[in-house]
Structure 1
Amino acid sequence: MNAFFGSEWQDCPSGMVRAVRNPWSQEVIDTVPVCDDNTVDNALRALQQGVRGLNEISNEGLGKVFRGAAELMKESAEDLATL
């Protein structure tokens, strides 16, 4: 199974997964990869680079991004409610 970071899907060499459970019913609703230390380090480096990129965006630009995300969530509210 792969993990998404650094704007792309990355291999998690362990191949192990962990179940994600609905806290109310305990039903397994998905699985996520269990990544090794090296993969986590790579993900953290990608995150740090992304944060640096965010610092270069103006407040107005960030506002536009967040308003766009909010609009997409409104448009998909019914689908999101079933998750």
Structure 2
Amino acid sequence: MTYGKAVLIALDQLLNALGGGWPDETLSSRFWRWHVAGVRSWPCRWLDQVAAWMGDKDHCRKSYESERQGRQLPPELRAQKP
């Protein structure tokens, strides 16, 4: 992961925490969870549309999956495969 991407993810997580979310989750992942749970879908749709303009289709779903798989963690902290 590049330095710039790491800083952007950290800022994203900070905004999520300031908004009452989990401190280690990105807004994108939170928006996906809201969408799936039926809480509100517009943030996910809006962010996915913005991300698609930059070539990142299905951004919120992919961010959620990344969180679930721990891909943002250092390699030694990721779940070990049997």
Q: Specify the structure having the higher radius of gyration (Cα).
A: 1
Q: TM-score range by the shorter chain?
A: under 0.3
**Whose helix fraction is larger, Structure 1's or Structure 2's?**
2
User: TM-score, normalising length from structure 2?
Assistant: 0.26
TM-score normalised per structure 1: 0.25
